[in-house]
Chain A
């Protein structure tokens, strides 16, 4: 993939794939015009300035054009995340373009969770967030791809079920009825603790009857509008539908993922920037300065972490190196180091805690900041970034 250089191209073009490979960049003409207009008002051609600008616009107004510009901006980050994920979790089911699409579909989540006050750029943040979101999606898809509808209904949260029903177009009354049916289903369709790991068989006639009986009885008190009584067959059908709607909503086939393609789905684009934004553009530049100031703080943080990591025992340093630099899964690390995965998991967690504790101490001593829970969270995020991006901390001093 050819990384882009021109500022206009960076914020207005999208990756196009052929077969399983990156083929070319395609520019959306409306987004290009939008950038050209913007550049007339501010001559700053730095990527970081425009990333901050569009992110603030998105936060303030959530207008589609801001999201499209940022989606264009984050194409490389998504691509590299897809590559990294494919290497770490190879799967015949998901090609590189599949993983790329899954990643880019999460742009909103990335934008929502990005905290500029933490000091790192949107691109850096996305570079860490995309692989994490991809991993989560793969984990969930793997658990649900091959399970039955009945199993799926036991694994879905209430929140996602209701979102699925809503997307399927159910009216509120109908949604309440389906939710109650699901509650009754989950109460009765349970494993017995002694059954070990054998999977639950599909519900039989007797169970559907029991579920129907429970539903018909409870609807009188639990539903604002009880509605008609249900036969076991109707309930089975309702729940089958629920499962299908959940699959369609949560785990749609990758090819159908909604991606702002070049030229399509552009919605309401603003071709002109209102005057009021000029002041805010200035404010962005100031913000940028502040961000650069935070950079110096980060160098000190880095020194503190470098020292802390040398305090860990060599095995833990090696485990961290294999996990963060060589990007191995914990089970691969376990094989390589001849440890159990449980041990690897525990050591990595504890090592990370030790580093965080050291960082909090440093914060207390040098910055005179008493630790608050929010500060600790910020420090842990900084730690994560440092572990992933710095490549040299595993080299022993004077080794």
Chain B
């Protein structure tokens, strides 16, 4: 889908490098839910791409606001990435929306005095190209804080300020020229300070909001309370950690991997061929001895949240078609090239559809890889593989 076909000089159409994608992907693993992981991914990508663009073409003074760790605590709860440029702040609002109808800015970025920006950029992130290098970031409009407060509409249902596209400046050529020439023009409207939260109240709020049962923490208490909590880095950090603990259950695997499709060369989300993985990890030595050429081997990266290292491991599955419509399966777990050994005490287990452990193996220190005994099952069988370290685990579901 060559939609970069429609690029015009009055918008910024910026490409995304494979390196930026990998970096952002890794950073996003810190988040607690699939939703916040995706938010962090889009935000980190937009931040990296637009920062690089500003630094290469305008000024090296452009820097990301806040440290990487701090940003993660924000992205767990709300969209938006800030860049500082001298004494001004630019806020990026990344989204996958394609219809250019409005700019939506969460209230946090408009009504928290410490978070307010001068300029707000409407950013579309496009990732679904047919080729990996067809991903791009498109900046299609901007506005000021003042305009957002004056011409924007506050939507209480999701606590956002919404500005119709007709009020946005659609010509990005004017952005830098305006930034330089009109430095004294008002960009910010007045914002009332929020009361500081006493520590005990903050702690009780944190306990309440970090419960797994709270779907949208930012919408669950009045904004004055939420804002006061969020604007304190220490409280925010604690809320983030509590949320991570509460939601550290085995991640619901959204996809069920259909193993027999591998024989038809279909590649599913997250699974890569040996060649692709070897290219990314040249020091990897794998040892899935195949007894026939019809064996299909695929690998997948798995990220464990276990502190302090948050290790990544590679899980390989080898499939061999056997007689009477059964499939032979071998499973191995290898470290990535950052270490020659699998994390000590890592366990790999085979679970039946009913959750019963059928096989399990534990890594000793200095194991180059661990593997299950080869097993066979008929087509249509469901099973799970569980990879665990301390109390952090990942469960992958399979259908043969």
B173 touches A112 (CB 8 A): no
B182 touches A139 (CB 8 A): no
List of B residues within 8 angstroms of A179 by Cβ: 157
**Interface: A138 (CB within 8 A):** yes
B255 touches A201 (CB 8 A): yes
Question: Do A195 and B270 contact each other (CB < 8 Å), given the known contacts A331-B4, A384-B10?
Answer: yes
CB closest chain-B residue, reference A330: B7
A142 touches B174 (CB 8 A): no
B169 touches A183 (CB 8 A): no
**Interface: B353 (CB within 8 A):** no
**Interface: B243 (CB within 8 A):** no
CB closest chain-B residue, reference A199: B128
What separation, in Å, do the CA atoms of A286 and B66 have in the docked complex? Answer: 56
CB closest chain-B residue, reference A319: B9
A113 touches B166 (CB 8 A): yes
List of A residues within 8 angstroms of B256 by Cβ: 204
Which segment, of A2-10, A20-28, A99-107, A372-380, faces chain B?
A372-380
List of B residues within 8 angstroms of A323 by Cβ: 9
Query: What 1/0 flags go to A154-185 for Cβ under 8 Å of B?
Result: 11111110000000000000001001000110
List of A residues within 8 angstroms of B182 by Cβ: 371-373, 376
List of B residues within 8 angstroms of A399 by Cβ: none
A192 touches B37 (CB 8 A): yes
What separation, in Å, do the CA atoms of A386 and B171 have in the docked complex? Answer: 15
B185 touches A222 (CB 8 A): no
What separation, in Å, do the CA atoms of A342 and B134 have in the docked complex? Answer: 11
Minimum distance in angstroms from B146 CB to a CB of chain A: 11
Which segment, of A36-44, A51-59, A206-214, A288-296, faces chain B?
A206-214
List of A residues within 8 angstroms of B185 by Cβ: 372-373
**Interface: B135 (CB within 8 A):** yes
B173 contact from A194, A345, A352, Cβ within 8 A = A352
Minimum distance in angstroms from A103 CB to a CB of chain B: 16
Question: How many pairs, one residue from A and one from B, have CB atoms within 8 Å of each other in the complex?
Answer: 184
What separation, in Å, do the CA atoms of A55 and B57 have in the docked complex? Answer: 41
**Interface: A81 (CB within 8 A):** no
Question: Do A349 and B164 contact each other (CB < 8 Å), given the known contacts A193-B37, A198-B267?
Answer: no
B171 touches A204 (CB 8 A): no
What separation, in Å, do the CA atoms of A190 and B255 have in the docked complex? Answer: 11
List of B residues within 8 angstroms of A329 by Cβ: 5-7
List of A residues within 8 angstroms of B269 by Cβ: 191-192, 195-196, 198, 200-201
List of B residues within 8 angstroms of A201 by Cβ: 255, 269
Minimum distance in angstroms from B396 CB to a CB of chain A: 12
List of A residues within 8 angstroms of B57 by Cβ: 346, 350
A160 touches B101 (CB 8 A): yes
A190 touches B34 (CB 8 A): yes
A190 touches B35 (CB 8 A): yes
A342 contact from B15, B176, B270, Cβ within 8 A = B15
**Interface: A248 (CB within 8 A):** no
A139 touches B25 (CB 8 A): no
**Interface: B97 (CB within 8 A):** yes
What separation, in Å, do the CA atoms of A225 and B63 have in the docked complex? Answer: 45
What separation, in Å, do the CA atoms of A206 and B256 have in the docked complex? Answer: 10
A144 touches B98 (CB 8 A): yes
Q: Which residues 198-238 of B sit at the A interface, judged by CB distance below 8 A?
A: 213, 215-216, 219-220
What separation, in Å, do the CA atoms of A331 and B35 have in the docked complex? Answer: 34
**Interface: B130 (CB within 8 A):** yes
What separation, in Å, do the CA atoms of A156 and B101 have in the docked complex? Answer: 9
Question: Do A197 and B135 contact each other (CB < 8 Å), given the known contacts A143-B3, A384-B10?
Answer: yes
What separation, in Å, do the CA atoms of A204 and B258 have in the docked complex? Answer: 13
- At the interface, is chain A mostly helix, strand, loop or mixed? helix
B174 touches A341 (CB 8 A): no
CB closest chain-A residue, reference B268: A198
Query: What 1/0 flags go to B267-300 for Cβ under 8 Å of A?
Result: 1111000000000000000000000000000000
**Interface: B355 (CB within 8 A):** no
**Interface: B368 (CB within 8 A):** no
**Interface: A239 (CB within 8 A):** no
List of A residues within 8 angstroms of B169 by Cβ: 377
B25 touches A194 (CB 8 A): yes
Question: Do A360 and B8 contact each other (CB < 8 Å), given the known contacts A158-B162, A192-B270?
Answer: no
A194 touches B219 (CB 8 A): no
A197 touches B130 (CB 8 A): yes
**Interface: B96 (CB within 8 A):** yes
What separation, in Å, do the CA atoms of A179 and B129 have in the docked complex? Answer: 28
What separation, in Å, do the CA atoms of A157 and B220 have in the docked complex? Answer: 23
What separation, in Å, do the CA atoms of A199 and B96 have in the docked complex? Answer: 14
B102 touches A159 (CB 8 A): yes
Question: Do A193 and B9 contact each other (CB < 8 Å), given the known contacts A139-B3, A376-B181?
Answer: no
Question: Do A155 and B157 contact each other (CB < 8 Å), given the known contacts A190-B38, A195-B270?
Answer: no
B177 touches A157 (CB 8 A): no
**Interface: A357 (CB within 8 A):** yes
CB closest chain-B residue, reference A195: B269
**Interface: A326 (CB within 8 A):** no
Q: Which residues 11-44 of B sit at the A interface, judged by CB distance below 8 A?
A: 12-13, 15, 24-25, 28-29, 34-35, 37-38, 41
Minimum distance in angstroms from A253 CB to a CB of chain B: 18
List of B residues within 8 angstroms of A112 by Cβ: 166
List of B residues within 8 angstroms of A342 by Cβ: 15
B178 touches A194 (CB 8 A): no
Q: List 10 A-B contacts (CB under 8 A).
A: A187-B215, A192-B34, A194-B270, A197-B131, A199-B128, A217-B213, A352-B10, A373-B174, A373-B178, A380-B173
Q: Which A residues are within 8 Å of any B CB, using their own CB? A: 89, 112-113, 132, 135-136, 138-140, 142-144, 151, 154-160, 176, 179, 183-184, 187-188, 190-201, 204, 206-207, 210, 214, 217-218, 221-222, 250, 323, 329-331, 341-342, 345-346, 348-353, 356-357, 360, 371-373, 376-377, 380-381, 383-384
Identify the 9 closest CB pairs spanning chains A and B, nearest first: A195-B269, A348-B9, A190-B38, A193-B25, A193-B41, A139-B6, A157-B101, A371-B181, A159-B101
Apart from A206-B254, A380-B174, what 8 extra A-B contacts exist at CB < 8 Å? Answer: A139-B3, A139-B98, A158-B162, A194-B270, A341-B4, A349-B172, A371-B177, A377-B174
